[in-house]
Amino acid sequence: GAGVSQSPSNKVTEKGKDVELRCDPISGHTALYWYRQSLGQGLEFLIYFQGNSAPDKSGLPSDRFSAERTGGSVSTLTIQRTQQEDSAVYLCASTQSPLSTDTQYFGPGTRLTVL
Amino acid sequence: QQQVKQSPQSLIVQKGGISIINCAYENTAFDYFPWYQQFPGKGPALLIAIRPDVSEKKEGRFTISFNKSAKQFSLHIMDSQPGDSATYFCAASTWNDMRFGAGTRLTVKP
C-alpha cells in the first residue's frame, strides 16, 4: 500500500514569507509526527498528533510554527515569516497506534530553503 | 537539550568489517530504542529496535546491545557491506515523544 507522502518535495522561499508543508499519513494510522532535520544535525521532534486529541506542541521552536491535522488524517505544518535558520528537511511520520513500540513510517520529506 | 548522544559522527569501515555506533540517553522514562537507516534523499527507515527489558537483540547482521544501568545502547553491523553505507540514527522514545541522536554517517569501502 501507499506510504507516507509529503508535498512539496522542495520549497524555496524568501525570508519573511509564509510556507505550508503537507503530510498524508498511511491510511488508518492514528498518530502523526513532524520532525526537522537540519544539515549535519539529527532529527528534531516538532509536534505530535494522536487521533483527535490536542497535539503535543512541546517541540515547536517558536510561535511562528504551527500545525494542524484535519479529520484525523492529513496534516499541515505552517511556518510564518520564515527565517534562514528555518532551512531544513521537514519529515513527517505516522504510526498505527500511539504506543512507543510501534514502527514509525517516514515520508520522503520536504526540503525547505529560505533565501 | 540533547537527550540522546550518538557517536561517532562518521565512520569508515572496510567491507567485511564490523561497524559499531554508540548512543547514550538521559531520560529514564524512555522505553523504546529504535535505530533508523537513512539513505540520501530518503526518509529514515526503521532498522531494528529494542526494549529495555532485553540486553541484546539480533536481526541478521544487525545487533543492538543495551545496557540499562549505564543508559547506553549500541548498534553493531557485522560483515559490513558497501550497501550499508548510509546515515544511522539512534532514538529513544516514550509513548508521545521520540528523541534522536545526531546521526552517524557510515561509509563501507569495497
> pLDDT of A36-75, one tens digit each?
988 767 788 888 888 777 787 878 889 999 999 987 789 9
pLDDT band at B7 (very low <50, low <70, confident <90, very high): very high
What pLDDT does residue B68 have?
93
Specify the higher pLDDT residue, A114 or A49. A114
Task: Using alpha carbons, select from B9, B49, B11 the residue that is nearest to residue A102.
Answer: B49
**Alpha-carbon gap, residue A110 to B54, rounded angstroms:** 36
Contacts of B34 in chain A (CB under 8 A): 103-104
Note whether A33 contacts B98, CB cutoff 8 Å.
Answer: yes
Select from A3, A13, A5, A4 the least CA-distant residue to A78: A13
Please report the pLDDT score of residue B98 as a whole number. Answer: 80
Query: CA B18 to CA B105: how far, in whole Å?
Result: 15
Q: Which amino acid is at A77?
A: L
How far is residue B3's CA from residue A46's CA, in Å, rounded to a whole number?
15
Contact status of A99 with chain B (Cβ, < 8 Å): yes
- Interface check for A4 against chain B (CB to CB < 8 A): the answer is yes
Question: Considering only CB atoms, which chain A residues are within 8 Å of B6?
Answer: 42
Closest partner residue to A101 (CB to CB) among B6, B32, B45 is B32
For chain A, the average pLDDT equals: 89
CB of A107 closer than 8 Å to CB of A93 = yes
SS3 of A42-59: CEEEEEEEECCCCCECCC
Residues B59-82 have pLDDT tens digits of: 999 999 999 999 999 999 999 999
Among the partner residues A99, A103, A106, nearest to B43 by beta-carbon distance: A106
Give the distance from CA A1 to its chain's centroid: 21
Q: Quick one: pLDDT band at residue A82, thresholds 50, 70, 90?
A: very high
Residue A109: is its pLDDT beyond 60? Answer: yes
Q: Provide the pLDDT for residue A84.
A: 95
Average predicted confidence (pLDDT) for chain B: 92
Angle of CA points A26, A38, A82, to nearest 5°: 90
What's the whole-number mean pLDDT along residues A24-37? 91
pLDDT at A52: 74
Residue B1 has pLDDT above 80, yes or no: no
As a whole number of angstroms, the distance between CA B91 and CA B107 comes to: 21
What's the pLDDT at A72? 75
SS3 content of chain B, % helix, strand, coil (to 5): 5, 60, 40
